[in-house]
Chain A
Amino acid sequence: MAAFAFYLFAGLLLTSGLMVITAKNPVHSVLWLILAFFNAAGLFILLGAEFLAMLLVIVYVGAVAVLFLFVVMMLDIDFKALQRGALQNLPLGLAVSGVILAEVLLVASGWTAGQGVIVHEALAGPPPGMTNTQWIGSQLYTRYFFVFSMSGLILLAAMIGAIVLTHRRRVGIKKQSIAAQNARTPGGTVAVGKAAIGQGVEL
Chain B
Amino acid sequence: MSAIASEYLPVLLFFAVGIAFALIFVSAPIAVSALTGTAKPEAVKLSEYESGFPAFSDARAKFDVQFYLVAILFIVFDLEAAFLFPWAVSLHWGGESAWWAMMEFLGELAIGLVYAWKVGALEWE
Contacts and interface: CB of A to CB of B under 8 A. Distances in A.
A59 B78 contact: yes
B73 interface: yes
Given A67-B71, A133-B85, A170-B125, A155 B97 contact: no
A48 B69 contact: no
B96 to A, nearest CB: 10
A75 interface: yes
Interface stretch (A103-111, A141-149, A180-188): A141-149
Interface residues of A, number: 57
Interface of B: 1-5, 8-9, 12, 59-63, 65-69, 71-76, 78-80, 82-83, 85-95, 97-98, 101-102, 104-105, 108-109, 111-112, 115-116, 119-121, 123, 125
CB-CB nearest 10 A-B residue pairs: A137-B90, A137-B86, A2-B1, A141-B98, A138-B93, A48-B2, A152-B108, A159-B112, A162-B72, A152-B105
23 contacts: A5-B1, A46-B1, A58-B82, A59-B78, A63-B78, A67-B68, A67-B71, A67-B72, A74-B60, A125-B2, A130-B93, A131-B89, A137-B86, A137-B88, A141-B90, A141-B101, A142-B94, A149-B108, A155-B108, A158-B76, A159-B115, A159-B116, A162-B72
